[in-house]
Amino acid sequence: MKVIIVGGVAGGASCAARLRRLDEDAEILMVERGPYVSYANCGLPYHVGDVIEQESSLLVADADTFRSQFAIDVRTGCEAIGIAADAKTVDLRDVATGEVTTESYDKLVLSPGARSIRPPLPGIDLPGIFEVRTVPDARVIREWLERGSLFLSGMHRYSGFQTVRPKTRAVVVGGGFIGLETAENLIHRGFDVTLVEMSDQILTPLDKEMARIAEGYLERHGMRLALNDGVAGFEQADNGQLNVSTQSGKVYPADIVILALGVRPDTTLAKAAGLEVGERGGIRVDEQMRTSDPDIFAVGDAIEVRDFVTGEWSLVALAGPANRQGRIAADVIAGRDARFRGTQGTAIIGFFGGVAAWTGVSESTLKRLGDTDYEKTYLYPNSHAGYYPGARPIAMKVLFRKSDGRVLGAQALGEDLVDKRISALAMAIQMGATIYDLEEAELCYAPPFGSAKDPVNFAGMVAADVLRGDMPLCHWDAADQGFLLDVRDPVELTVEYAPGAVNIPIGQLRARLDELPRDRDILVICRSGQRAYYATRMLLQKGFKARTLAGGMLSRTHAENFWVS
């Protein structure tokens, strides 16, 4: 059996290595149009920022490794330019010489990845405008940072003894993973950075109110955000400086511009071969990674996959799913009954010591689908036992079915141990767990690592209280429909308050029940929701109609108040 794999990064490399482990006799040819295979493109922004100092550190395995350890024929600088599905052949072009050869196959795996979005804007090809997609991309950016313009090339002349050092400026276009990570690394390298994003928020998988936390955190660490404003074009000034014009008419000067506008599936080969391409623009595959041609498989950023929660076709350009898909394609080619379960889009990003992570479906997606069978809750537990030094709050949003408690999605932001909470919730979602399962989950605990009630347990307990009727819930968008009761201490109101709310500290509430109306809904608030829950339980048992405002004042104003030192 002869298997040709087109694309040698992530999914393609994973497929090749797995297939060799399963079939020692298969003839495996892996072609990659770039100069490297199996490199860590997720690490490129950190190489730009010199966190990863050596380029070689990004190269997980080279062509010689695949040849010597796996007996795989690897050809770098080799581009697949055509597929004859009926004849089962692939045309390959040597990038350096232009020579075209034809190879036959029994099975073909497409892992061409995705191409960076590069709109035809005026001046987009000017010197100093870069993408961060490949190792060579990172190399030329690093070279430009050192000596790409007359200004930058003279920066070495400014010593630490001088009191004024000219500021270098960068504009990053795009508020996703690559944009934010590169922007942070440029700030670490001493640049003033402006991030321009056409949407009204960064990190669109997050719901807007959670993204606001991240935006405030970035701004407090020196990043300027220009949201809801797209780039209109680029111009070069007489001094070599770039000017970035936006659709609103603003102009941002820059010594370097990074384009991080996202990616589109590379379906050129698939379309030429007559393979089915889905509505989202990716190659359509089944759960065994087969395309519409049973002898052609596809994996990675180029394909559409089913969303595990919604069942919708989706595009998920993440390394984890790509590697698993490559492994599954190899299993199926080798005769095993492997299947891809779909993706939840589980992801994480760090910036300036903070972290944002998410898994499953967002509320904005549920609303877009017209799905009303869900509830949400906000909570702000400590990352580990509060009495142990270093505990930091985690802002969490958890979505779950009202009908059966099934966990649908979760988002979390914080500065400590965020990743393991979202990882646990991701596994819960994949196993079809409910909030009642989260209540009973047995998780690691010692004071430096968690609490006796882990944030995952706590999320389940809060959500279960809601569904059991122990904590009727209200959200701020409906706060004007009831009597607002603030049970915080008066001193807290000097920091933040809800206009129109009546303040009765929880310690005085039992003695002042006669001040509350019995003919209106009482919406109870505190800072994060815990004291409001205690008050709600008290009021319900005293015959009042009471609900807790989810997340308290933090969920109302956490964009301004969370993580403030």
Q: Give percent helix, percent strand, percent coil of the chain, each to the nearest 5.
A: 30, 25, 40
- The CA dihedral of 202, 205, 209, 215, to the nearest 10 degrees, is -20
Residues in the chain: 565
What the block records as the tokens of 139 is: 């190399």
Angstrom distance (rounded) from CA 126 to CA 349: 30
Say which residue the tokens 């350890």 belong to: 69
Interhelix angle for 63-70 vs 11-22, to 10°?
Answer: 10
Exposed/middle/buried for residue 472 (C-beta within 10 Å: 0-12, 13-18, 19+): middle
What the block records as the tokens of 236 is: 């070069």
Angstrom distance (rounded) from CA 452 to CA 303: 42
What the block records as the tokens of 18 is: 């797995």
Angstrom distance (rounded) from CA 36 to CA 49: 21
Is 78 among the residues known to form the active site?
no
Interhelix angle for 208-220 vs 552-561, to 10°?
Answer: 40
Which residues, listed in sequence order, are joined to residue 196 by a DSSP beta bridge? 173, 226
Say which residue the tokens 């007359």 belong to: 150
| Nearest of 84, 121, 130 to residue 103 by alpha carbon | 84
The residue annotated as part of the active site, out of 15, 78, 474, 526, is 526
Residue 31 contacts residue 75 (beta carbons within 8 Å)? yes
Residue 2 contacts residue 27 (beta carbons within 8 Å)? yes
Q: Which residues are catalytic?
A: 526
